[in-house]
Structure 1
C-alpha cells in the first residue's frame, strides 16, 4: 500500500504529539533566566509550538473537512463542541473556584481598571486568565473564516503560494500580540501557517518527495535559523501591542516554518507505523491542553517551583506533562463521552 493512501496518518499523529509537548514545555519556564547561549538556542527551538498546532489544523481542514464536503454550519458546530464548549466550561469553573478562594476573579494586569463582570467577559473574549487559553478565541475566529479558506483551496497553486508567502512575511513584522490578549492580532500572525497547512495537504506527495530527499539540508537550515535568532538577540516569541508598528523582524516565523517541514521529513519515516507513546499523547492532546495550565498553577502554588537551569526546567515539564496526561486519562474514564465538554475531544 502506498504510504499516502494509508487511512491513518500516523506521522501527523506523531507531529501533533510533538506540538503539544513543545507547548507545555514552553509554559514550564518559570524562573529560567536563559542567560547561556545554549539555553537561548534550546528555548527558541521549544517556543512557538502553537505555530505547529495551527499548521496541523490547516492541514486537517482540507484533508478531512473539505474533502468530505462538510458544510460550513456542520463544521462550525463540530468545532464549537470540540474546543468552544470545554473552553467555556473550564474557564467558568476556574474563575468560579478562584472567586470562592480569593473573593475575586483572575485578572490580568491589563484588565485591572475594569469591574469584575467586565473582567469575566474579557477573560472569555481573550482567554488570558489561564495558560494557553488565549488560543481558543483565536482559533474560533479562524474557524469562522472557513469560507475564505475554502475559496483559497480553489485558487491556482501559484496564487496560493504567493498569498501565503506574502502573509508569512507580514507575520514576521506583525509579531504576536503581547500577553495574547488580542485574538484579531493573533489571526494576522498565525493565519499564514493555517494557509501553509492547506497547501501542504493539497501537495503532500510533492512535498514528501522533496522533504525526505533533503532532510539533512533542512536540518542545517533550521540550525542556521536558530543561530540567526541568537545573533540578532531574539529570545523566545516576539510580542507587541500594535501589529502595524515597526519594531524589527520576528525570526520565529522563519525558524518555525523550516521546523515544520523538518519534523514532517523526520516523522514520515513512521508514516505507516504507530508509535504507542506518541499516539497516546496525540490522542490526549486536547485534554492536556485544557488541563496543563491548572497543573502548572497548582504546582507553583504548592511547591514554589523555580527552574534555574535546563535540567530543572525539564524535570518540571516532565512532572507537569505526566500529571496533565494522567488527569486527562482519568477524566475520560470517569466522564466517558461527556469528557469532551470539559477537556476537549
Structure 2
C-alpha cells in the first residue's frame, strides 16, 4: 500500500505527461492531405488521438495520488486547478466566437451572447475545440468516489476487459459545424452534450487502465518484456483503421493509441535513469510537462491565429509534395508549441509581478 499512497510524481510519468500534450498539439497542427484521402487518413492515424494518452495519465495520477482521497477536498482542488483556469482561458475563445463567428465556426452564432455563454462553457468544443475534455473529465471527478470505492473492494479492475470492449464498439461520433446547420440551436447544443457523454464512456477504459497501471506499477516491466508484441498490435490496428476509414468503413482511432500508451510507458520507465542522467533533456521535458495543462488550454487559440496570419486551413492540402507539406505542418507544430509556452510564461510572470502570492494555476493551469 505504501506505493499507492506515495505522492511523489514519478519522472517517467512526468515525461509521459509532456509527450501526451505534444501529441495532442500535433493532432491539431500536423494533419495534411485532402479530406478523406489516404494521405490524410494516415496523418490522422499517426498524429491524432492524443486524448487517449491524456486520459490515461489522468487516471494514473488520480490513483497514484489517492492515498489521502477525500471527496470534498478533491473537488475543491479540481475547481481551483481545472475548472477555474478553464473558465479564465475561455475568454479568448468567447471573443473569437462573438467577433468572427463564421471563421471561428461558432455553431451557436445568432443566439444572444448572454444565452450562448453558458451553452458554450458547458460543452467546451465550440469556443475552444480541445476543451470538450473539461466537461468530460468533470464527470470523472464526480465519479471519483465510486472509482475509489470499487478499487478498494477489489472489483474495479476485473471489469477492465468489459470497459475495453465498450471502447472498441462505441465509436466517438464525428461532430463538425457543417453537420449541424439544419438543427435548432438547442438540438445543436444537445449534440455537443452527447459528444461529451459518449467521450466519457468511450475513454472510461483508458482512465481505469491508468489507475490499474498505477496500482500495479510492476506490470509496466511486463509491457517492456513484450514490447514487440504490442508494437506489432499497434501497427496492425493502425493499418486496419486507415484501410477501413479510407474505404468508408468502421473506424476507431483509439485502438492503436491503447498500444501506443503501453509502448510509451514501457520505454519511458525502462530508460528512466538514462533520461534523468541527461539533465538538459530531462529539464526541457519537465518544463513541457509542467506547462502541459496550460498548453492544452491555449494552443488552439495560437493554432487559430497562426492559420489566420498565414491564411491556412486546419488540414493542409498537399500542393507540392508530401515531404514539403510535412515540413510545413512540422513548422506549424513547433511554432504553436513554442508560442504557447512563451505566452503562458509571459502571462505567469505578469500575474506574479502584479501579485507574487497569486496561484497562477487557477488562471492558466500553470
When the two structures are superposed, what TM-score results if normalisation uses the length of structure 1?
Answer: 0.84
Query: 1:51 corresponds to which residue?
Result: 52
Query: 1:321 corresponds to which residue?
Result: 337
Question: Contact 2:29–2:332 at 8 Å: present in 1 too?
Answer: yes
Deviation at 1:98, TM superposition (A): 5.3
Query: 1:151 corresponds to which residue?
Result: 149
Question: Contact 2:30–2:47 at 8 Å: present in 1 too?
Answer: no
Distance 1:263 1:210 in 2: 13
Would you say 1:181 and 2:192 are equivalent positions?
A: yes
Distance 1:322 1:298 in 2: 14
Aligned pair in 2 of structure 1 residues 262, 152: CA closer, same or farther (>3 Å)? Answer: same
Q: How does 1:260-271 map to 2 (within 5 A)?
A: 260-271=261-272
Would you say 1:14 and 2:11 are equivalent positions?
A: no
Query: 1:343 corresponds to which residue?
Result: 364
When the two structures are superposed, what TM-score results if normalisation uses the length of structure 2?
Answer: 0.80
Aligned pair in 2 of structure 1 residues 230, 104: CA closer, same or farther (>3 Å)? Answer: closer
SS at match of 1:108: coil
Distance 2:149 2:359 in 1: 35
SS at match of 1:41: helix
Structure 2: gaps of 5 or more residues: 176-190, 277-281, 318-324, 353-357
Distance 2:225 2:365 in 1: 37
In angstroms, what is the RMSD of aligned CA positions? 2.9
Aligned pair in 2 of structure 1 residues 105, 330: CA closer, same or farther (>3 Å)? Answer: same
Q: How does 1:221-260 map to 2 (within 5 A)?
A: 221-233=233-245, 250-260=251-261
Distance 2:246 2:217 in 1: 32
Number of aligned residue pairs: give it.
Answer: 325
Structure 1: gaps of 5 or more residues: 236-246
Query: 2:137 corresponds to which residue?
Result: 139
Would you say 1:163 and 2:163 are equivalent positions?
A: no
Distance 1:224 1:89 in 2: 42
Deviation at 1:96, TM superposition (A): 4.1
Query: 1:201 corresponds to which residue?
Result: 214
Aligned pair in 2 of structure 1 residues 113, 8: CA closer, same or farther (>3 Å)? Answer: closer
Deviation at 1:115, TM superposition (A): 3.7
Deviation at 1:9, TM superposition (A): 0.9
